[in-house]
Amino acid sequence: MMTKPNHVLVDFPDIILNMASVGIVAVDRSFNVILWNRFMELHSQVRQEEILCRNLFEAFPEINRNWLEKKIKSCMILRIPSYTSWKQRPYLFNFKDPNRSGQFDYMHQDTSIWPIRDPYGGIQGACIAIHDVSEIAEATHLLETAMDQTLALEEANHRDGLTGLFNRRFFDEQISQEILRAKRYDWPLALAMLDLDHFKKINDTFGHPTGDTVLRSVANRLTGMLRSSDTLCRYGGEEFALILPHISKEHLLPLMERLNSAIQNNPVVLEDNTQITVTISSGVSHLQENQMAGELIHRADQALYQSKQQGRNRTSYF
Amino acid sequence: MESLTNKPSFCEDDLDAFGEIVNIAMGQAGSLLAEAFSGFVHLQVPNIRTIKWEELQKITDNLISKSSTISAVRQEFMGEFSGFIMVIYGCASYAILREILGFDDRESGEVGKRQREELLLELSNSLASTCTMKIASQLKLQCGLKPPRIVAVEQPSKDVVRTLFGPEPTWSLEQALQIDILFHLDGHDFPFELLITVSPESLPLVQKSIARLLT
């Protein structure tokens, strides 16, 4: 048989009142505060004697009254607990961030709300428990920021700083993947190597900053004429590599012609309105059976060399 | 002496008796919900079955195929009567949810998105907690609920299938009990679904309660 431990005198309400890690607020059916514990006193700087018997919403006008009233009412009718999470609603009471980390200036809170029964089974009000989850919220926020940064960094790692095109490193990864894909789905894959003609002369005549402007301008013009599935990379100094999946020879050569003439017919305009006409030479090749990336690049390079030999501003196919 | 190799499994009689208990609980839950939400929410007579984990996936696939995008909320319950609840919404009208719950805040952008999630959580918790607590109290078993959490918001149903029930639980080969409740919200053509899956651990206690109630 169990004996009642009545030799220990414990003031149970005192345990809750002094609880400093969880906020406990109780309200009656008219939302007048009937319990306000130490946690609430410390964070709100409102003492128990100041708030007891006062209406919660009048004392804290920042609380969305309609929302909380509806929530508490249905929890009293259904006789079940109700919850709020910092993920949807950062806080119920606007308290200062206890960690003062500077990231947020308020305390993040999870709350649970449950009906208060009287000894006869009736519902006399509701109790709200406030959990300080600032540390979880901050950790989550840091994690999300770090993940965003990682993604941005990964993107930056793939880009050429001057032109904004994909860089050589990305090209090396991408060409192998495109080759695998072309083989798997049995579609044609072409690679074009493009080179600005007489770029050294532009640099020598106008200076390197102008050379950079020319590179950027050519990169922009080419990008605007490509399909979303094409990948244009800055391969080296004034050389570009263009991966063209799913393209036949009948479409490939006219496309290269269009690129060549677009560059030739639209001179680069400098800030002082000087116009520089530039041309490009290119070499293209289609992926052959059993070919690896190195061989494909080599063939496109040889075709480019042929264009240069034959007087530049043209495309050769190998 | 009880055999250790034969895990207690639910027979037809048990299922029938449990069905009656659940029906009584649903009646009580239904009238409370009618009072709380002015008759906007209607519960249908539940369908009760025993299932294995593998079947649970199929049932869910089937359920999800009814709607192209779904939202889902998951909530665990623990104690003598334990398991988890999924509330699965097809295309829900947030305007109607707002009206049912009486919430009036309506902002745009990121804040609006979180307010819509809160509507789903609030309604799910009301339905899931009321039904589960009423069943537990009919069985005279202790039970408490954890806060609900969002599993999906308007995601293509086929993408959600895998994430819906999370990783396969350790009870994969054991039998669980599932209570499938359709509920109608006014202003919606199609019913939504409340699935209560009772964990195998609590089945022996559930069986004991049923036996006690029948005698």
> For residue range B131-171, what is the model confidence (pLDDT) as tens digits?
999 999 999 999 999 999 998 898 877 667 656 665 555 55
A238 is catalytic: yes
CA pair distance B105, B112, nearest whole angstrom? 9
Return the CATH number at B91. 3.40.1550.10
A276 compared with B8, residue with greater pLDDT: A276
- Mean pLDDT score of chain A: 91
CB A315 within 8 A of CB A253: yes
Query: From the list A70, A80, A81, which residue is nearest B103 (CB)?
Result: A70
- Of the candidates A190, A170, A169, the residue with the CA atom closest to the CA atom of residue A179: A190
- Cβ-based contacts of B112 with chain A (< 8 Å): none
pLDDT (tens digit per residue) in A217-240:
999 999 989 988 899 999 989 999
Q: Which residues, listed in sequence order, are joined to residue A182 by a DSSP beta bridge?
A: none
Range of the domain at B26: 12-214
- CB-based contacts of A195: which residues, under 8 Å, 6+ apart? A238, A239, A240, A280, A281, A282, A304, A308
Interface check for A71 against chain B (CB to CB < 8 A): the answer is: yes
3-class secondary structure, B120: helix
End-to-end alpha carbon distance in chain A = 97
Amino acid at A34: I
Q: Give the rounded percent of residues in chain A with a pLDDT score beyond 90.
A: 71
Q: Is residue B171 part of a domain?
A: yes
Number of alpha carbons in the 13 Å side-chain half-sphere of residue A20: 2
Q: Is residue B166 part of a domain?
A: yes
Number of alpha carbons in the 13 Å side-chain half-sphere of residue A151: 6
Least confident of A272-281, B78-87, B103-112: B103-112
Backbone φ and ψ of A193, nearest 5°: -110, 125
Nearest-Cα residue of chain B relative to residue A67: B103
Structure confidence at residue A310 as a pLDDT band (50, 70, 90): very high
Number of alpha carbons in the 13 Å side-chain half-sphere of residue B199: 16
CB A317 within 8 A of CB A249: yes
pLDDT reading at B5 higher than 50: no
- CB-based contacts of A1: which residues, under 8 Å, 6+ apart? none
pLDDT at B1: 40
Task: Set out the domains of chain A in order of their start, with CATH numbers.
Answer: 12-140 (3.30.450.20), 158-317 (3.30.70.270)
Q: Is residue B6 part of a domain?
A: no
pLDDT (tens digit per residue) in A150-164:
888 888 889 998 999
Instruction: Tell me whether residues B36 and A77 touch, CB distance under 8 A.
Output: yes
pLDDT at A3: 58
pLDDT at B173: 59
Q: What is the ipTM of this complex?
A: 0.86
Q: Is residue B152 part of a domain?
A: yes
pLDDT at B44: 86
Q: Is residue B3 part of a domain?
A: no
B interface residues, A as partner, C-beta within 8 Å: 32-33, 35-37, 101-105, 114-115, 117-118, 121-122, 125-126, 129-130, 133, 145, 147-150
Q: Is residue B5 part of a domain?
A: no
Q: Is A100 left (phi over 0), alpha (psi -120 to 50) or beta?
A: left
pLDDT at A271: 85
Question: CA angle, corner B80, sides to B74 and B83, nearest 5?
Answer: 20
- Cβ-based contacts of A64 with chain B (< 8 Å): 105
The count of domains in chain B is 1
Q: Is residue B7 part of a domain?
A: no
Least confident of A139-143, A188-192, B117-121, B126-130: A139-143
pLDDT reading at B3 higher than 50: no
Q: Is A268 left (phi over 0), alpha (psi -120 to 50) or beta?
A: beta
Q: Is residue B25 part of a domain?
A: yes
- CB-based contacts of A269: which residues, under 8 Å, 6+ apart? A275
The residue annotated as part of the active site, out of A49, A50, A62, A238, is: A238
pTM, rounded to two decimals: 0.69
Range B123-128 average pLDDT: 95
B28 compared with A20, residue with greater pLDDT: B28
Backbone φ and ψ of B123, nearest 5°: -65, -40
- Cβ-based contacts of B153 with chain A (< 8 Å): none
